[in-house]
């Protein structure tokens, strides 16, 4: 079976331990595949978005251009040393509070083919649903990295299909379970 050529890896940036692990995984895949790396950072963290808000009701965060430039600079500085000699990298600060929609638009614009996301915890919120459910339902390959170790990787079905293209050996990942097994989250 022929696997698709992976030319662009996306990373949802998060300034956390799991975020650093996800960055290392994304960079490792980009280097191995000769792909570019596009780093996406949201003004409003997808991990802190209340679960009781429907995506259509989440207003875009109002931010001035100076703030966007400052956040872009901080994002670049955070990853600059870790990139070493890797130069095929792009950065974007996303000001939309609708994480799912924004990531789908980036996919449509072909800014990535595989998306690597920090996995902060089982059942952790990502936008308006548990992160595992988000990844399971997303129509592009997603690799969740963490939450306890850098070698913990959960793959959604599209990522499992292209596994040979992302350079993850068997045993280095687990599949994301079907929605009926997701933990139920309660909003306080």
DSSP readout, 66-110? HHHHHHHHHHHHHHHHHHTT---EEEEEE--S-HHHHHHHHHHTT
- In CATH, the architecture of 8-181 is 3-Layer(aba) Sandwich (3.40)
- Residue 3 is classified by DSSP as P
What residues does each domain of the chain span?
Answer: 8-181
| R_g of the chain, CA atoms, integer Å | 16
Half-sphere exposure of 55 (CA within 13 A, CB side): 14
Q: The tokens of 165 are what?
A: 């293209």
Q: What is the pLDDT of residue 53?
A: 47
pLDDT of residue 22: 98
Percent of the chain with pLDDT over 70: 82
- Over residues 41-52, the pLDDT tens digits come to 998 889 875 544
Query: What does the pLDDT average to over 29-44?
Result: 94
Under the banding of pLDDT at 50, 70 and 90, the label for residue 5 is confident
> What secondary structure letter does DSSP report for 134?
H
pLDDT at 171: 77
Residues 151-176, mean pLDDT to the nearest whole number? 85
pLDDT (0 to 100) of residue 61: 54
Residue 23 and residue 18: Cα distance in Å, rounded? Answer: 8
Mean residue pLDDT of the chain comes to: 86
Distances (CA, A) of 178 to 135, 156, 157: 11, 10, 10
Identify the pLDDT of residue 186: 39
Tell me the pTM: 0.87
pLDDT tens for each residue of 77-130? 999 999 999 999 999 998 767 888 999 999 999 999 999 999 999 999 998 899
């Amino acid at each position: 079976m022929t696997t698709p050529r992976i030319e662009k890896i996306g990373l949802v940036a998060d300034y956390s331990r799991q975020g650093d692990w996800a960055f290392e995984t994304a960079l490792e895949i980009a280097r191995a595949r000769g792909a570019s790396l596009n780093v996406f950072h949201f003004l409003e963290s997808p991990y802190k978005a209340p679960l009781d808000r429907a995506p259509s009701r989440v207003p875009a965060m109002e931010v001035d251009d100076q703030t966007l430039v400052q956040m872009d600079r901080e994002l670049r500085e955070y990853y600059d040393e870790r990139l070493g000699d890797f130069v095929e990298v792009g950065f974007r600060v996303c000001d939309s509070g609708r994480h799912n929609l924004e990531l789908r638009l980036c996919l449509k614009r072909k800014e990535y083919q595989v998306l690597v996301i920090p996995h902060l915890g089982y059942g952790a919120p990502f936008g308006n649903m548990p992160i595992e459910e988000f990844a399971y339902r997303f129509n592009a390959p997603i690799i969740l990295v963490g939450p306890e170790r850098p070698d913990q990787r959960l793959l959604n079905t599209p990522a499992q299909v292209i596994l040979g293209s992302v350079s993850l050996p068997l045993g280095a990942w687990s599949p994301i379970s079907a929605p009926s097994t997701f933990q139920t989250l309660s909003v306080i």
